[in-house]
Structure formats: structure tokens, C-alpha cells
Amino acid sequence: MVLRGGRILDPGSGIDAVGDLVLVGSRIAGVLANGGGGDPAVRRLAEGAPAISVSGLLVTPGFIDLHSHLREPGFEEKESIESGTRAGARGGFTTLCAMPNTSPTVDTRATVEYITRTAAARGAVRVLPIGTVSKGEEGQELTEMADLAEAGAVAFSDDGRPVASARLLRYALEYARMLDRPIVDHCEDASLSAGGLMHEGAVSARLGLKGNPAASEVIAVARGLALAELTGGRFHVGHLSTTGALDLVRRAKERGVPVTCEVTPHHLALTDEWVAGTVSDGRAYLRPPKGRRPFDPNTRVAPPLRTQDDVEALLDALAEGVVDAIATDHAPHTIVDKACEYGLAANGISGLETAAGVLLTLVNVGRVRLETVVALLTAGPARILAGDQGLEAKRLPAGLGSLRPGAPADVAVLDLRRQWVVEPQAFASRGRNTPLAGVPLVGRVVATIFGGDAVHWELETK
Amino acid sequence: MPERRHLLDLDDFSRADLETYLTTADAMQEILSRPIKRVPALRGMSVVNLFYEASTRTRVSFEIAAKNLSADVVNITASGSSVEKGESLLDTVATLEALGADIIVMRHSQSGAPYFVAERVRGHVVNAGDGWHAHPTQALLDLYTLRNRLGDLAGRKVVIVGDILHSRVARSNLWSLLLAGASVVLCGPPTLLPPALPEGWGRRVQVEYHLDRAIADADVVMALRLQKERQQGGLLPSVREYVRLYQVSAERLKRARPWVVVMHPGPMNEGVEIAPDVAHGPHAVIEEQVANGVAIRMATLFLLAGGEL
């Protein structure tokens, strides 16, 4: 198959050119830039192959999400591997790293294999399991990380909650080091954030909702950085949301501490004012639709939506290179989990199907560069999966997250100018929980190819 | 004023809205002075008092107000209803809708709960107190009481003292007092009054941690109930220290204006946030607040039901 005449942007291999992307079977054959040249073998393959015009569209590697909650096994009413991967496909994601706070938690080889087997049978895209740090996420004993890694776990996390103690996190970092896999921490000081329903600040004070202060995240990130420095283990900050934590990560990186971090699209575009239903800050990039009432439980998420100052700091950090990946923290919930009092609602936003739209809207208003966003959805997370020993050492496909010849034929096609309105009822995800309902976005994923197969298709021809 | 379907908070009130409520309360007060305190304004309408939290004065006040307007009144409390069997707020409200409730008066421990309900009913919702967030009829009756005592509130100094952090009364009062032109000083221990708190009201509010300083030249002092649980929560070293620093006492009131008005939304912990002699002294208007509550709640129900004077 040939995707003809699009702008091909692959930060992983440094390609940004108008031309043809040639796929053969489940692999990338190569890129033929307009104006001739390129590998003659690829040119011969392209001749006679069925061609699809993507002229005027952007062609990138399929996105990698380091942080998805697919909820299976155990919470299939919220999401399944099948529905979650279809949501991923709609969002341009061809690789989803599945968080292990399922029921049972992903703390044995059997659960890891259940996920990979189910994904192979029913998944629309690739699923890479993340194992828990502690058995049952109970914060007591380490899991058999080597066994989990051998079965396919790409990282370890007790996400949903922080790694319970500094001691446990220290051992986890030390132990995972021999496996060259990161510990992903949900950074929160539980004693400070207990009962917190939203970011602590002027808005929480006005609404009378218990606050979760930024300091809670900053303290937990400081703990992880100190332990990464002590152990040399790879520490990955999940869903970083505060200016203070960002500053700590920046300084640690300057010292050579083995740390990486991710941010979510919602923390890059939404603020605590969304909980109040109206956004007054003039710098806001997105606003709730008129008539939105305060206390929308869909704005409840952990870590909470922060302030516009934090949003600006995170956006600056993208450009600066402090952030390693954009991850969705896709957290689908049922209507019952969310159609209730704010303080009783579950934390989380269903994010896979809006991530690209939100990010491209930020690109369209000129706040962040397209190249940066695409890199943080592809090459950035691929680098974290590869670690020091590379993708092959983890039995992951060579070239994952890029359009290099031989890489998996995982491709996203984006229409940067397409305007659309978020309609949760049309989601493939079972989780319709998003504060973005009714919000207009500019930029959309119009096709996704996984392993050479179209898994999402809104183009005229196929 | 544009027709208001629900009364959830005072944050969207204009001065004209406030005047409408106060003027209507005057008319209701006149009805209350009659030998037969009953008018047919809400005849045939049903008012449901949906109380998820214990309350005596607010619930009874709404009940009397609704009955004075000839509405049919049903009281539902969390205990002894299907709420105890685990029914969700969503289902409870759907049931009330199906039963034909015209006005739902609700008290709930979760901030924002009445907004959730308001979005899902055809009828009207009155917030009778939600979590730490709002208690609009309390703020209206406080304003009404002050207006009767002091006249125009422009330039008056109102001190609210106590547990501001957890107080829906303080939050709703901030909207109405500022709108009426008063200046507000919040006073309490820093753990119950974080410095960022007043920012929600646009920096027009002062914070003062020393009651003696706060109370100087005050026209109004409003004491808030101190929940004893705050000590267990680690927010206070002891009730004793709280009393020493923040009790509204006769000695402290000497620094206020001679005509100072002392208020309390009830229920009081006499001897904790307010000294007994002050609570029952010449400056206190605490029973007047309760009495005015009926007029304000009659006005609220009347206006929401589309009534005009």
C-alpha cells in the first residue's frame, strides 16, 4: 500500500517531507520524497501497489501511549481490551501501555499473558502490559518483576496510587534496574492529598471542595528523584502536572539522574476553572461550552486539573525538551461512576479519542510546534520503552514509533484543519467521561493503520 | 429580574436580585404578622424537603414557609428512606420527579450536589446547604436581618470569625455582603482560613488572624460554629486554645462599634465560639435571624414559583 502525497513527519528518523509512504504487508518499506530519489527498491515496490491519496494530510508513525487504563481484567463495564484498543485506533494510537490496576492486578505472569493473549485475539492495536511494583498494589512486597518482564511487561507501576513507601520505591528502582525497565510512579503524597477533590487554590476555596495541593505532587517527585539518584534505577514520573515538579525534573536531568516524565493532554489544556464551569483566564486555549454548570464530575481527575500558570509551564517544557512523552492517562468509567455527587465520583478522564484533537488545537493556535507534539507521541515514548538496551532486548519490534524501513506498518493520518466537536456518545471507548463534551477542536485523526491494516478510516477511499 | 429557576448560590446575583428578595421578604413578614399566617400562593404545589444531613432550624423553617404559602410539604431525610438502602442521588431525584415534586429543597454534605440535581429536574431546586460550598437562604436572611438593624450596609465592616474553610455560611455571605457594599474581614486560625481562600472573591476581602484587631470598629460580628472534629483532624491544637484566641466575648466586643450586631447561624456551641452572655446579650440578633429565616424562605419559594408582588 502507498500513502501518496502527504506530509510525512517522523521525528524518530528525522523525516519531514512531502511524498509517499510505502507499506508492504505489516512493515514499513520506506519513504519516497517528492522530487525523485529514494531507494530504487522501494520505488519498484510502490509501482503497481494500491495507492491512497493523502495529499494535504499529515502522515506520522502510529502513536504510543505510555499510560492507558484498559480496565480488563475485572472492570469490563468501564472498558475492555477490545473497546479500549478501538478507542486507541480512533485516536491514532497503535501501541497502548496498559496500566496494571485491574482486578486482579497485573502482578503475575498469568495476568500479563492474559492481557497479551486477549489483545492479540481481540485488540485493534498493540497492547504492552505494565506490571505492578507490589503484589496486589498493596505496597508491601515486590512482584516477580523478572518473570513479568519475560512475559512482556514493559514497565512497573502501582498507578492509581503512589508506590507506598520510600523504602519500597528504593527496592523497586534497584531491582528493575537489572531489567532496564522504568518504575512509573503516580506521584502524590497521600497524607497531603487525602480527600482532595480538585487542585487546591482559589477555585477550590470558592467552590468549597477539599483541595489537593501542588505540594503533594512535588514532594512525591522529589522522593522519586532522590531514590533514582541513589539507585541508578530508571524513574518515570506519570502524568506530571505541576510547575514545581517540572522544575525538580529539569534540575535532576541536568545532574544526569535517570528520570523521564510524561504529561497528559488534559493537563496541557484544561485548568481547575473547568470545575467551576466557566473559564475566565484570558490565556485559556479551550473553554467549556456555555451553560456548563459547576461541579461537573467529569472534571474530577488525579492528579487534578491545575492552574493556567501550570499549563503554561508544561507547554513551555514541551518546547524545552524537559518532557519525554505525552501520555493520555485514559481512565474510562461508567455513567454510574460519574453521574453522582462530585465528591463521590471516580477520578479519571476518557482521553484516547480526544488526545490528538486537543494537542492539534494547541498546535493550530501556535502555542506548541507540531513537530514537538508528534515527537512526544512517537519517538519520545519509544525511547522510554527502548531504555538503554534497545527495543529488541525487550522483544519489541525494531523501529517501533518510527517510519524506518522494517518498522511495523503503524501509521496515523491527521487532518490538521478539520474542525469537529467532541461527542462522547460516539466514542468507541465505553468511558464517555470527558469534560470536553461539546467542545470544538481543530485537527483530527482521519486514519490509523496498525501492522498494515486499517483500524480507523475516515478517508474517502480505502 | 430574569426568571431564576433554581436558587443554588448567590454568586450570580445582582444588586437588583438582592433587592427583590429583601422586598419580597418584607411582604412575607407582613403576612407573618397577620393572625392567620397563610396565603394561597403555592396552593396545589408540592415542596419536597430532601435532607441528607441533620438539620433542625433550616428544615423546619422551609417547612413552615411552604405551609404558610399553602404548598403540600413532604420531608425526606437520609435515615428512614431508600437512601439508607443505597439508592443513588440520581435515582432518588428521578423518583421525586416521577412523583411530581415542584420544588426540591435540599441539604447535602457534598459540595455541588444541588447543581447535579438541578440539571436533572423539570422543577425548581433550592440549595439549603451543600457541603462547604453554599447556603444562600442563610446569607439572604443574614442580610435581611442586618438591613433591618443597620439600614444601608455600604461601608459597614463585617467580621466573620471562626472555621471559614469549612463554612458554606461564610461563602454565601461573602457574595451577598460584598454585593451590598459592606467590607468583610475574615478571622480565624490559619489552618481554618488559608490565605488563598479570599482570592475566590476577587481580593476584596481582608484576612486577619488576630480577633482583637479584626473586631476593632466592626459594625457586625458573625461567629461560626466550631466543629469539635477539627481538633481530631489536626487542624487545631485544642478547643481551649481556640476559645482563648477566637471566642467572641463581651470584653472583645468593647473594641467594636457601640451598635455592633452579633450574629450566629446556629447551632451554637456556647462557651466555644461565642460566650453565653454575648449570645443572649443586647447585641445578639440570633433569634431574629431564625424568625427572619421563615420570611426569606417564603420569599424564595414564592419567587421561584414565578410569583410577583
User: What is A84-143 written as a DSSP string?
Assistant: HHHHHHHTTEEEEEEPS-SSS-S-SHHHHHHHHHHHHHH-SSEEEE-B-SBGGG-SSSB-
pLDDT band of B228, cuts 50, 70, 90: confident
Concatenating the DSSP letter of every residue in A299-356 gives G--SSPP--HHHHHHHHHHHHHT---EE---B----HHHHSS-GGGSPP-B--TTTHH
Residue to test with chain A: of B133, B167, B168, B192, most A Cβ within 10 A:
B133
* A207 contacts on B by Cβ (under 8 Å): 111-112, 133, 200
A residues 187-246 closer than 8 Å to B (CB): 200-203, 205-210
Q: Residue A240 burial by CB count (10 A; 0-12/13-18/19+): exposed, middle or buried?
A: buried
Instruction: For chain B, say whether A457 makes contact (Cβ under 8 Å).
Output: no
Q: What is the per-residue pLDDT across B25-61, written as a single tens digit (0 to 9) for each?
A: 999 999 999 999 999 999 999 999 999 998 889 999 9
Whether the pLDDT of residue A462 is over 70: the answer is no
Across the interface, do A341 and B132 touch by the CB < 8 Å criterion? no
Average pLDDT of chain B is: 94
Q: What is the per-residue pLDDT across B271-294, written as a single tens digit (0 to 9) for each?
A: 999 999 999 999 999 999 999 999
What is the rounded CA–CA span in Å between residue B39 and residue A238?
62
CA distances from B304 to B60, B208, B297 (A): 19, 38, 10
Closest among A381, A388, A378, A401 to A181, alpha carbons compared = A388
Instruction: For chain B, say whether A336 makes contact (Cβ under 8 Å).
Output: yes
Question: In chain A, how long is the greatest CA-to-CA distance?
Answer: 67
Grid cell digits, residue A55: 495529499
Q: What is the per-residue pLDDT across B248-273, written as a single tens digit (0 to 9) for each?
A: 999 999 999 999 999 999 999 999 99
CA distance B116 to chain A (A): 7
Instruction: For chain A, say whether B200 makes contact (Cβ under 8 Å).
Output: yes
Residue to test with chain B: of A295, A298, A299, A307, most B Cβ within 10 A:
A295
The mean per-residue pLDDT over the stretch A355-379 comes to 98
Question: In chain B, how long is the greatest CA-to-CA distance?
Answer: 56
pLDDT on residue B81: 72
Across the interface, do B89 and A294 touch by the CB < 8 Å criterion? no
Say whether A329 is catalytic: yes
Residue A456 forms beta bridges with which residues? A448
Across the interface, do A201 and B196 touch by the CB < 8 Å criterion? yes
| Strand intervals (E) in A226-280 | 235-237, 259-263
pLDDT on residue B2: 53
Check if the beta carbon of residue A195 is closer than 8 Å to that of residue A255: no
Whether the pLDDT of residue A303 is over 60: the answer is yes
Minimal-distance CA residue of chain A relative to B108: A341
Q: Which residue has the cell 473594641?
A: B255
pLDDT on residue B231: 82
Q: Is B75 helix (H, G, I), strand (E, B) or coil?
A: strand
Whether the pLDDT of residue A138 is over 80: the answer is yes
3-state secondary structure B46-90: EEEEEECCCCCHHHHHHHHHHHHCCCEEEEEECCCCHHHHCCCHH
Minimal-distance CA residue of chain A relative to B168: A208
Across the interface, do B112 and A294 touch by the CB < 8 Å criterion? yes
Reported residue count of chain B is 309
pTM of the full structure: 0.96
Whether the pLDDT of residue A432 is over 60: the answer is yes
pLDDT on residue A137: 97
How is residue B3 annotated by DSSP?
A: P
Closest among A94, A148, A122 to A400, alpha carbons compared = A94
> Which amino acid belongs to residue A348?
G
Give the H or E element holding residue A428: none
Grid cell digits, residue B151: 439600614
Q: Which residue has the cell 502507498?
A: A2
Across the interface, do A202 and B199 touch by the CB < 8 Å criterion? yes
Q: What percent of chain A has pLDDT over 90?
A: 97
Check if the beta carbon of residue A274 is closer than 8 Å to that of residue A212: no
Sign (positive/negative) of CA torsion B159, B160, B162, B163? negative
Q: Which residue has the cell 460554629?
A: B225
The mean per-residue pLDDT over the stretch A9-37 comes to 94
The mean per-residue pLDDT over the stretch A159-175 comes to 97
Q: What is the per-residue pLDDT across B101-150, written as a single tens digit (0 to 9) for each?
A: 999 999 999 999 999 999 999 999 999 999 999 999 999 999 999 999 99
CA distances from A359 to A21, A257, A363 (A): 24, 29, 6
Pairing of strands A15-24, A411-421: unpaired
The mean per-residue pLDDT over the stretch A189-205 comes to 95
What is the rounded CA–CA span in Å between residue A247 and residue A158?
24
- Displacement of CA B18 from its chain's centroid (Å): 14
pLDDT on residue B85: 74
pLDDT band of A78, cuts 50, 70, 90: very high
Residue to test with chain B: of A203, A207, A307, most B Cβ within 10 A:
A207
3-state secondary structure B143-172: HHHHHHHHCCCCCCEEEEECCCCCCHHHHH
Grid cell digits, residue A344: 463521590
Q: What is the per-residue pLDDT across B181-210, written as a single tens digit (0 to 9) for each?
A: 999 999 999 999 987 888 888 767 999 999
- ipTM confidence score: 0.95
How is residue A392 annotated by DSSP?
A: G
> Which amino acid belongs to residue B230?
R
The mean per-residue pLDDT over the stretch A404-432 comes to 98
pLDDT band of A461, cuts 50, 70, 90: low
What is the rounded CA–CA span in Å between residue B8 and residue A350?
29
pLDDT on residue B195: 79
pLDDT on residue B40: 96
